[in-house]
Amino acid sequence: MRVAEQRIKTAVIGVGLIGEQHAEAFAANPRAELVVVCDANPERAQAVAARFGCAATSSLADVAASDAEVVAIATPDFAHHEPAMAMLRAGKHLVIEKPLTTITAEGAEIVNLARQKGLKLTINLGNRWSPQFANI
């Protein structure tokens, strides 16, 4: 398989409204393969996993142990730190919903660990596609 044809394995932690949109985007992208979704509510994780044909879990350890290369974190804002740190320790690249964290020191820890590990970290700013923001 040529490198351009390889699919990037992905996961989503927190599959409420925004997280489900991340899962949908990964599932629809021909260059991505959604392998697992994670939510504190196991029933919610199962429902989203069934919709997109991937595994479901409520355990961060399961996502960390998965073969996902990129993990989107879409938990509530105050709850980004723990999953971000766990995924970075597991060697996963991250897409985190804005804001990075609600506590500056936690944000710094995430950024520093990503740098130390040589992992990619990006913040998703979905509003950049909103017509109101595009006009600005």
Which residues are tagged catalytic? 98
Number of H helices, E strands in the chain: 6, 6
Query: Are the beta carbons of 80 and 100 closer than 8 angstroms?
Result: yes
Q: At what angle do helices 81-89 and 104-117 cross, to 10 degrees?
A: 10
Query: Are the beta carbons of 109 and 81 closer than 8 angstroms?
Result: yes
Locate 7 and state its tokens: 């699919």
Query: Are the beta carbons of 68 and 10 closer than 8 angstroms?
Result: yes
Q: CA of 14: how far to CAs of 25, 39, 70, 79, in Å?
A: 14, 5, 14, 10
Query: Are the beta carbons of 35 and 11 closer than 8 angstroms?
Result: yes
